[in-house]
């Protein structure tokens, strides 16, 4: 064994084990990687089994009541592991820690610490406090924290694709949404810091980057030397890393500019795929939601995207049963889904959140009606997704290979730039290669294809 390897293994043996369980959005996945990096410097390495861990952190989501209930139930199971390992520490971090604060010490009596989304640098200090069995908490929000000097430990998304967080927080105050309260004001991460992280990912062989922010397209940096909007940042990255695929999420329709659409269309490595949450197809509901666009304005943006990128896939978020939503409003959402022709949707029943503007409105659509409307929306989305995939039969796509299919060891899978999953027979293609695949068959969620040429190993 080489001396360096020996030292490295020795160091690893001395390190404590950290298990992070992540709930909620992609931003939370990226945040867990920031947390893993901060705690690595404090002597922890990530592990995948909570039973092995010396420290368990639950990175939480507050967006819907059910998400919170699930975390409380899981928190009870995880804190019970302390019975067999008295030195184990358990913490709750992220949006629920921010929203519920010390109430969480009541709901989960076995937890030791709480940290909100802007307090992760303070985790080592909080942990020190817990060593005397004192409960520790920090939920202070910041107007400037972007963790710009932290190099996240990309341990969750494999070694082909990675998330890179470029901004934090939200200033939009959609009336239903808890995010501006749990994550604070919008702030953008400095360009140099973003480029440094992407360069490292490039050197490590990653092939696809998803730029993340609650409101990614309102990214803005303006100081004496630099002036960057989201399209200029995207262009800069696309030119420097022309061999990498670029995606981004989540975009607010009101901030989707013609500039951004043209940038997407100009650079072949910016994927022709966008997540553009509509929430509702009814103008009166959109107004009550404080979305700041009308259904007509939203559709104009869709037309613009399709004019410049005819093969783009568009996905969305839909909330059904918002306060005051009538049968007609619901039908307008159904009509919107058909007009926008979504490839994929995340569909939710409205869940009233304390402290939001909508919590002052009457949550007057019954759970039964919400359920029926949700089912109708889900059924329609399945029909639209299937039609989308059927239209691809006979077409050839370049696929970035991600690994072996879970169903069969003889099949591999990857994604098209439209973010569609393709499964094909193959045994020995290096993940991270690009292959050409002709689509022969499909289901609602997957394309099934045949390899038609050798591959471009990048
Ligand atoms: N109830 C239901 N869905 C919600 N979302 C946000 N807040 C709520 C809520 N109170 C959905 C929106 C958002 C997605 C991340 O979660 O569709 O785009
Ligand atoms: Fe959930 Fe929103 Fe927090 Fe993400 S930012 S974890 S979606 S509440």
Q: What is the pLDDT of residue 39?
A: 98
How far apart, in whole angstroms, are the C-alpha atoms of residue 40 and residue 46?
8
Rg (CA), the chain: 23
How far apart, in whole angstroms, are the C-alpha atoms of residue 199 and residue 205?
10
- The answer to the question of residue 190 being in a domain is yes
* Claim to verify: residue 237 and residue 283 sit in the same structural domain: no
- Work out the widest C-alpha separation in the chain, in whole angstroms: 72
Question: From the CA of 167, how far away is ligand 2's center (Å)?
Answer: 14
* Claim to verify: residue 379 and residue 346 sit in the same structural domain: yes
Q: What is the CATH number of the domain that holds 45?
A: 3.40.50.12160
pTM of the entire predicted model:
0.94
How far apart, in whole angstroms, are the C-alpha atoms of residue 286 and residue 56?
40
Q: What is the CATH number of the domain that holds 420?
A: 2.40.50.140
What count of other Cβ atoms lies within 10 Å of the Cβ of residue 311? 13
How far apart, in whole angstroms, are the C-alpha atoms of residue 32 and residue 55?
13
* Claim to verify: residue 241 and residue 280 sit in the same structural domain: no
Closest CA to 349 of 380, 392, 309, 319: 319
Q: What is the pLDDT of residue 1?
A: 46
* Minimal-distance CA residue to ligand 2 atom 4: 25
Question: From the CA of 179, how far away is ligand 2's center (Å)?
Answer: 6
pLDDT digits (tens, 9 = 90+) for 248-305: 999 999 999 999 999 999 999 999 999 999 999 999 999 999 999 999 999 999 999 9
Is residue 48 helix, strand or coil? coil
- The answer to the question of residue 143 being in a domain is no
Which residues touch 145 (CB under 8 Å, ≥6 apart)?
Answer: 118, 121, 168, 187
Question: From the CA of 374, how far away is ligand 2's center (Å)?
Answer: 21
- The answer to the question of residue 363 being in a domain is yes
- The answer to the question of residue 150 being in a domain is no
Domain containing 100 equals 3-138
* Claim to verify: residue 48 and residue 124 sit in the same structural domain: yes
Question: From the CA of 279, how far away is ligand 2's center (Å)?
Answer: 16
Residue at which a domain ends, from 370, 391, 412: 391
* Claim to verify: residue 267 and residue 363 sit in the same structural domain: no
Which residues touch 28 (CB under 8 Å, ≥6 apart)?
Answer: 22, 59, 60, 61, 94, 95
Q: Exposed/middle/buried for 317, CB within 10 Å: 0-12, 13-18, 19+?
A: middle
Residue 318 CA, closest ligand 1 atom number: 17
Answer yes or no: are the C-beta atoms of 178 and 356 closer than 8 Å: yes
Q: What is the CATH number of the domain that holds 212?
A: 3.30.750.210
* Claim to verify: residue 134 and residue 35 sit in the same structural domain: yes
What count of other Cβ atoms lies within 10 Å of the Cβ of residue 453? 11
| For the CA of 361, the nearest ligand | 1
User: Rounded to a whole number, what is the distance in angstroms from the first to the last CA of the chain?
Assistant: 31
pLDDT digits (tens, 9 = 90+) for 389-437: 999 999 999 999 999 998 888 999 999 999 999 999 998 899 999 999 9
Backbone angles phi, psi at 139, to 5 degrees: -130, 25
* Claim to verify: residue 170 and residue 245 sit in the same structural domain: yes
Ligand 1 pocket test, candidate residues 319, 342, 371, most atoms within 8 A of CB: 319
Ligand 1 pocket test, candidate residues 23, 174, 177, most atoms within 8 A of CB: 177
Q: How many domains does the chain contain in total?
A: 4
- The answer to the question of residue 426 being in a domain is yes
* Claim to verify: residue 292 and residue 223 sit in the same structural domain: no
Going residue by residue through the chain, which has 458 residues, state the pLDDT in tens, using 9 for 90 and above: 455 555 466 566 679 999 999 999 999 999 999 999 999 999 999 999 999 999 999 999 999 999 999 999 999 999 999 999 999 999 999 999 999 999 999 999 999 999 999 999 999 999 999 988 899 999 999 999 999 999 999 999 889 999 999 999 999 999 999 999 999 999 999 999 999 999 999 999 999 999 999 999 999 998 777 799 999 999 999 999 999 999 999 999 999 999 999 999 999 999 999 999 999 999 999 999 999 999 999 999 999 999 999 999 999 999 999 999 999 999 999 999 999 999 999 999 999 999 999 999 999 999 999 999 999 999 999 999 999 999 999 999 999 999 999 888 899 999 999 999 999 999 889 999 999 999 999 999 999 999 997 555 44
How far apart, in whole angstroms, are the C-alpha atoms of residue 171 and residue 291?
12
How many angstroms separate the Cα of 35 from the Cα of each of 40, 120, 143, 278, 426? 8, 6, 19, 32, 37
pLDDT digits (tens, 9 = 90+) for 215-237: 999 999 987 777 999 999 999 99
Question: From the CA of 121, how far away is ligand 2's center (Å)?
Answer: 19
Residue 63 CA, closest ligand 2 atom number: 8
How far apart, in whole angstroms, are the C-alpha atoms of residue 122 and residue 126?
6
| For the CA of 214, the nearest ligand | 2
* Claim to verify: residue 261 and residue 286 sit in the same structural domain: no
Question: From the CA of 72, how far away is ligand 2's center (Å)?
Answer: 16
- The answer to the question of residue 149 being in a domain is no
Answer yes or no: are the C-beta atoms of 454 and 431 closer than 8 Å: no
| For the CA of 175, the nearest ligand | 1
Ligand 2 pocket test, candidate residues 34, 116, 120, 179, most atoms within 8 A of CB: 179
Structure tokens at 153: 């430990």
- The answer to the question of residue 148 being in a domain is no
* Claim to verify: residue 166 and residue 218 sit in the same structural domain: yes
Q: What is the CATH number of the domain that holds 318?
A: 3.30.750.200
Is residue 156 helix, strand or coil? coil
Which residues are bridge partners to 100 per DSSP?
none
How far apart, in whole angstroms, are the C-alpha atoms of residue 111 and residue 109?
6
DSSP 396: E
Which residues are bridge partners to 447 per DSSP?
422, 442
Mark 380-413 as b/e (b = at least 16 C-beta within 10 Å).
bbeebbeebbeebeeeebbbbbbebbeeeeeebb
| For the CA of 94, the nearest ligand | 2
* Minimal-distance CA residue to ligand 1 atom 12: 317
Dihedral sign for Cα atoms in the order 249, 254, 259, 262: positive
How far apart, in whole angstroms, are the C-alpha atoms of residue 95 and residue 62?
6
Backbone angles phi, psi at 387, to 5 degrees: -60, -40
* Claim to verify: residue 208 and residue 277 sit in the same structural domain: no
* Claim to verify: residue 245 and residue 165 sit in the same structural domain: yes
């Amino acid at each position: 064994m080489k001396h360096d390897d020996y030292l490295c293994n020795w160091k690893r043996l001395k390190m404590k084990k950290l298990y992070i369980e992540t709930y909620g959005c992609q931003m939370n996945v990226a945040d867990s990687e920031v947390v893993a990096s901060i705690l690595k410097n404090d002597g922890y390495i990530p592990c995948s089994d909570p039973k092995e861990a010396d420290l368990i952190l639950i990175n939480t989501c507050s967006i819907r009541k059910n998400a919170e209930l699930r975390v409380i139930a899981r928190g009870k199971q995880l804190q019970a592991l302390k019975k067999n390992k008295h030195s184990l520490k358990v913490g709750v971090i992220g949006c629920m820690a921010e929203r519920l604060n010390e109430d969480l010490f009541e709901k989960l009596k076995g937890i030791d610490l709480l940290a909100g989304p802007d307090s992760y640098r303070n985790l080592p200090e909080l942990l020190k406090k817990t060593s005397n069995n004192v409960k520790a908490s920090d939920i202070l929000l910041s107007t400037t924290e972007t963790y710009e000097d932290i190099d996240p430990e990309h341990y969750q998304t494999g070694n082909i694709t990675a998330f890179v967080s470029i901004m934090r927080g939200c200033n939009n105050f959609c009336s239903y949404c808890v995010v501006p309260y749990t994550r604070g004001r919008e702030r953008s991460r400095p360009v140099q810091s973003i480029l440094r992280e992407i360069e490292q990912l490039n050197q490590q062989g990653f092939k696809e980057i998803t730029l993340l922010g609650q409101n990614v397209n309102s990214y803005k940096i303006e100081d004496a030397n630099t002036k960057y909007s989201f399209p200029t940042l995207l262009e800069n990255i696309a030119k420097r890393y022309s061999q990498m695929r670029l995606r981004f999420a989540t975009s607010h329709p009101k901030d989707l500019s013609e500039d951004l659409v043209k940038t997407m269309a100009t650079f072949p490595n910016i994927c022709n795929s966008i997540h553009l949450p509509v929430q509702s197809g009814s103008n009166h509901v959109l107004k009550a939601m404080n979305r700041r666009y009308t259904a007509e304005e939203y559709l104009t943006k869709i037309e613009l995207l399709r004019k410049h990128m005819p093969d783009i896939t568009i996905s969305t978020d839909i909330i059904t049963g918002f306060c005051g939503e009538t049968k007609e409003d619901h039908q307008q959402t159904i009509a919107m889904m058909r007009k926008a022709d979504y490839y994929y949707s995340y569909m939710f029943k409205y869940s009233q959140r304390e402290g939001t503007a909508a919590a002052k409105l009457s949550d007057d659509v019954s759970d039964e009606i919400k359920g029926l409307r949700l089912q109708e929306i889900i059924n329609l989305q399945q029909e639209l997704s299937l039609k989308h995939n059927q239209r691809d039969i006979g077409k050839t796509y370049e696929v970035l290979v991600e690994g072996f299919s879970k169903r069969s060891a003889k099949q591999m899978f990857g994604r098209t730039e439209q973010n569609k999953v393709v499964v094909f027979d193959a045994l020995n293609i290096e993940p991270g290669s690009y292959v050409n695949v002709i689509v022969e068959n499909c289901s609602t969620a997957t394309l099934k294809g045949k390899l038609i040429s050798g591959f471009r190993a990048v």
